[in-house]
Chain A
Amino acid sequence: MKLPYRMLLDFVETKLDASQTGDLLTMAGFELEELETVEGEPVLNVKVMSNRGDGLSAFGLAREVLAKEPHATPTILYERASARFAEAGAPPEGGEGLVTIETPDCCRYACLLFAGVANGDAPDWIKKRLRQAGMRPISLLVDLSNYVMLELGQPMHAFDLAKLEGGRIVVRGARKGEKLTTLDGVERELAPGQMMICDARRLVAAAGIMGGLDTEVSARTSQVLLESAHFDAGSVRRTRKQLGLSTEASYRFERSVDPEGVVAALNRFAQLLSESGSPASSSGLVDVYPGRHDPLSIELSLSQANRLLGMDIEPAQAKSYLENLGFQVSGDGEPLIETPPSWRPDVVRECDVIEELGRVHGYEKIPECLPHGATLQGGVFGLEARVDQVRDCIVRLGFSQLMSHSLRDLHPLDSGGTRVGPRHPSSPEMAYLRNSLLPCLADAAVRNEGSDLHLFEVGRVIAGGGDGPVEHRNVALLSVGALCPPNRQHEVAPQADFFSLKGALLEVAMTIGAALKLESPSTTDPRLHPTRQAMLSCCGKPIGVLGQIHPAIAETISLPESTVMAELDIDALCNAASDSATYRPISRNPAVRRDIAILIAKALPYEKVEKSIVAACGELLERHWLFDVYDGKGIPAGMHSLGLALQLRKFGGNLTDEEANQVREKAVAALAALGATPR
């Protein structure tokens, strides 16, 4: 809210300048966002919290200054406002039956009728202050009602009484099909229940938001019905959102307006109108107030307040703080009994009053302590600790971690199934929740020029399910190009492929002690190369996929065909983790190596070769590895040559050449049984 500083000074006398006052308001909870100079005078731009509608006026902020600043004093205008401008006595009551309220969303509706109005220009000083507050001067009646709103926080609306059919007001919910053309000239179709002001025949204003065009005051207006009412915050908010029409009035009603200040605003308007030299005479006040609330009574234990605030506030201090804010206070502190003022609907229980005490006393007086009490075990445990371990391991393996948007557009690498997205997406580019991390990694690979990249992400994906959306936490990896950074010319780095990524995944699984299995999938994943993909499983349950990108997709998204990717459910992997390792003593005797070269059918899975070697060699086999695969010149079609290394070692004695050869022979015999021929 923009408020000319001089309007605040109308209500409070202080030695503080505009900037110091702004700082004080900030510490009271009304943040000074900007201090501008408009037409040569300071203007405060104050951010008012959504539960503090009482701060949306000069009077309201003056109250805060008076509460926080002991040297500030109230002005005569402040005293008059506190007395609700009733010094002239109440205007004559009149107009029995003129106002009918048919909705619970309007708890009070008051209006003042004027005759003989000359709706010319407002006085220059008022127009200037309105301009400083960012409002456009329009006419005397409109400007005065806006000015009173800035002073007191009560929105008002002036109707041309001559244009109000039947000269009466009905407050009710809109009916199906009703329309209203608002002051901005827009015809608006209304939804049932939106609170409206009507005359005898038609709608004349959207309650608390904007008046209607038909009953607008003009230069020819002489009879006026000036509305000052209290509308329910939630109702105004709903209608404002539905109509997409936000105004100074709706802004205030949504943040609550003092129901007891309704008539005060009418009084103030009448005074300003008469001071402006207008010949108008007020002909009667109507005040219908069906929704009057009994004031609350809140008990506060000052010792409890001091304990929670970590400060020491004396009973007399506490009493004075609250009274300055308009609370009625009785009792001595154990308990203090207080009644919050009508403009503070946000104060409903003890904790709210404690906040008032702390705020006014000053949060800067709170000391820093560390909590004492039960010692609790802090940390990251269980599944979350495993996930951290996996993430660290993948980084160690040379992958760079990414974090991508969850909301995105469709992508060829999306997983299958129904999709989930926000009910009202803000743009087509973010209409869906990702159901796979692979599109994110692919986008990042493209963004980073698509070569020599090793990327991963741990993130949540959301897919549609029979019983609604299902969320998973996944880890995905993408690897393409040189496995180590190129260094000098003529140096050839090994390239990423299915097996380099498989090796990385197995390393991750080993780090957390999870048994990760790879097997040929029963149904292929259409995102991957049909004959270069594997299903990943843990404890017999499929948890993900690994493979080379499908060449058609690679072409569509401009990534190399050699790109390999994997994605798996990281929670499922981590739930299969295990810490159990049993110590085995190590042999102090030397190892012996024996190699085997065989010719064997390509169709025979290597897994079988491996199993038969392990079974044949027995416990002397310490380690074995495949050091060569060859299917070039001299090898019959459908066959390949495998070079296998056996590392043999005995516990408690040296292995003789003869013993080693015997083991090798057993392995060769076992492989022959699989159809292999030695080379």
Chain B
Amino acid sequence: MRTVEELEAEATAEIGAAARSAELRDLEIKYLGKSGLVTGVTRLIGALPAAEKPLFGQKVNEIKQRLQALIESRERELKSTEHASQFEAERIDVTMPGRLWRSGQQHVLQQAMNKIKAVLSGLGFQYHESPDLELAKYNFDALNYPKDHPAMDEQDTFWIDDERLLRTQATALQGRIFEVTKPPLRAFAIGRCFRNEAVDRTHSHTFHQVDAFMVDEGISMADLKGTLGHFARSMFGGEVKVRFRPDFFPFVEPGVDYAISSPKVFGGQWLELGGAGLIHPNILERYDIDTKRYSGFAFGLGVERIPMIAHGIEDLRPFLENDLRFLGQFHG
């Protein structure tokens, strides 16, 4: 029969020699378990004289505690080396490609349209749509086009029949709004437009236009310039300036084309964006709007111009060709 001291020395040696944490579990059972060796020694207590009993019990408990502590500390040691080798075995190459999620994306023109909607909404303009298949009444007549005016030359139109045509300009919304809304009003439309033109890098028979207009008391060319400045700065950032030049559109008087420039963004060049002006009083009068009290402005631009300027796209054609190698370049 070994003494408790011998038992402790033996257990201490074995714990110190354990190479894996699983061996420690076994040693814990062997010495400290319900029928473990140290536990077995405590049973001997009954055979001792009464005076020795407390001392022996205390001694065995101290041994148990020491062994328990020893097992735990040895376990911490072993775990840390075991983890180290496990982690080494589980090492991954973080430079391998990420597993791709399928993500959809908005068309580059849609991205421009969304931005336009956000900016004009912030300026108090309300968004409307009007049909692609438009009545000549709204596309031309309501917009102060005289019959046979040479300006119609520039708008060689896809007529469907005597009354209907494919909208040539998003401005066609104006008459529809004036029919049902009294000033003060601010409205805008984004729509697909069609003109009978040969397709090349800078021309297409199908394109998209924004048209925004407002009518209120005392609206001036300065309000137009300020609104366009704000719009252009919101779209392109930087210190964008606006330039007006005289131009002719039957629905505005004075009529201008407007260009923007910024020393930082466009290297000081003037980029023509679209046409604008004060809404022709003939149009306001047609809808019984008192031109003594109210005036209004309108401006339009091609949606395609926005990504062309922003991304340096030099060709109109890819916008409607649906090549994902093109569309995939513009995330949004």
**Chain A interface (Cβ < 8 Å from any Cβ of B):** 26-29, 31, 49-52, 233-234, 237-238, 254-255, 307-311, 349-352, 354-355, 358-359, 363-364, 366-371, 373-381, 384, 388, 391, 394-407, 420-426, 430, 433, 440, 443-444, 447-448, 453-456, 460, 462, 468-469, 471, 483-485, 487-488
Contacts and interface: CB of A to CB of B under 8 A. Distances in A.
Nearest to A488: B99
B226 A460 contact: no
A454 B122 contact: no
Nearest to A308: B220
A363 B244 contact: yes
A395 B106 contact: yes
Given A51-B149, A351-B253, A391-B110, 19 more contacts: A29-B246, A31-B245, A50-B248, A234-B147, A349-B281, A369-B222, A369-B225, A373-B219, A378-B121, A381-B127, A397-B104, A401-B110, A403-B320, A407-B194, A407-B206, A423-B161, A447-B321, A460-B132, A471-B133
B141 to A, nearest CB: 16
A397 B149 CA distance: 50
A339 B129 CA distance: 42
Contacts of B244: 363-364, 366
A395 to B, nearest CB: 4
B34 interface: no
A351 B280 contact: yes
A29 B217 contact: no
27 contacts: A50-B154, A308-B221, A308-B278, A354-B254, A358-B254, A366-B244, A370-B226, A370-B230, A373-B184, A376-B124, A377-B124, A377-B126, A378-B126, A384-B128, A388-B114, A395-B105, A401-B106, A403-B109, A405-B206, A405-B320, A421-B160, A422-B158, A433-B133, A453-B324, A455-B322, A468-B164, A469-B133
Contacts, number: 251
Contact of B107 (A307, A352, A402): A402
Nearest to B123: A378
A504 to B, nearest CB: 10
Given A359-B254, A401-B104, A423-B161, A373 B218 contact: yes
B254 A255 contact: no
Contacts of B322: 402-404, 440, 443-444, 447-448, 455
Interface string B112-132: 001001001111111111011
B103 interface: yes
Nearest to A387: B129
Given A49-B248, A395-B106, A401-B105, A371 B221 contact: no
A430 B166 CA distance: 13
A381 B117 CA distance: 11
A352 B250 CA distance: 11
Given A379-B127, A400-B324, A422-B160, A29 B226 contact: no
Size category, B interface: 35 or more
Contacts of B110: 391, 401, 403
Contact of B160 (A237, A309, A420, A426): A420
Contact of B220 (A307, A391, A460, A485): A307
A240 to B, nearest CB: 10
Interface in B214-251: 214, 216-223, 225-227, 229-230, 242-248
Contacts of B103: 398
Contacts of A447: 321-323
Given A309-B221, A403-B110, A485-B102, A424 B159 contact: yes
A375 B255 CA distance: 26
B87 interface: no
B100 A485 contact: yes
Contact of B126 (A358, A381, A444, A488): A381
Nearest to B223: A371
A371 B245 contact: no
B309 interface: no
Contact of B225 (A28, A351, A368, A456): A368
B21 interface: no
